[in-house]
Homo-oligomer: A and B are copies of this chain.
Amino acid sequence: MSSNLTAKLSARQEQLLEALRRAEQELSGQDLHARLRASNTPMGLATVYRHLRLLQQWGLVRCRHLPSGEALFAPTERDEHHLTCVDCGSTHRLAHCPVHQLALPGEELNGFLPLFHTLEFFGLCPNCQRRQGRLPAEA
């Protein structure tokens, strides 16, 4: 029950985390499953999701959701953020994390131990600004 306190990850968990690290970018659960199947460490889809959830709970994996609804997973140590166009969905990776060593006030934390964060900016890419020319707004 509390084996999650052990110092070492299981073999499957290592394989999964390694595949994520080897990937050049974030992967969906399905992508990850397909890659593992194609590699020499195949595993079932349920196993992928089960360990993905556990690794998230250990703070070793993070996920972000695209506007389309896809969930993309990445190792926590990869501290990347994006600009995403709300219209066409295109995304650009930021070169640096804008809150890299932002310290939250102690009274905000209130005993909470931060492990990682997600930060995403949304707006309009140059193309869509040009194409739209205008935006509807409230009365």
Interface residues of A (CB under 8 A from B): 2-9, 14, 17, 56-60, 62-63, 65, 67, 69, 71, 83, 85-87, 92, 94-96, 98-99, 102, 104, 108-126, 129, 132-139
Asked if B112 contacts A124 (CB within 8 A), the reply is yes
A8 proximity list for chain B (CB < 8 A): 136-139
Residue of B nearest to A94 (CB): B108
Given A71-B65, A108-B95, A124-B113: A4 and B119 interface contact (C-beta under 8 Å): no
What's the nearest-Cβ distance from chain B to residue A76, in Å? Answer: 9
6 contacts between A and B (CB under 8 A): A6-B137, A59-B86, A59-B124, A111-B125, A115-B124, A117-B119
Beyond A4-B132, A134-B6, A136-B4, whether A116 also contacts B112 by CB under 8 A is no
- A80 → B minimal CB distance (Å): 13
* Cα(A11)–Cα(B137), bound, Å: 13
Apart from the given pairs A9-B138, A117-B122, 15 other A-B contacts in the complex at a CB distance below 8 Å: A3-B135, A4-B136, A9-B137, A58-B135, A58-B136, A59-B124, A63-B67, A65-B71, A83-B114, A86-B115, A110-B126, A115-B122, A115-B123, A115-B124, A116-B123
Which 7 pairs of residues, A with B, have the shortest CB-CB distance? A5-B137, A7-B136, A111-B126, A65-B65, A114-B123, A115-B123, A113-B124
A71: which B residues are within 8 A, CB to CB?
65, 69
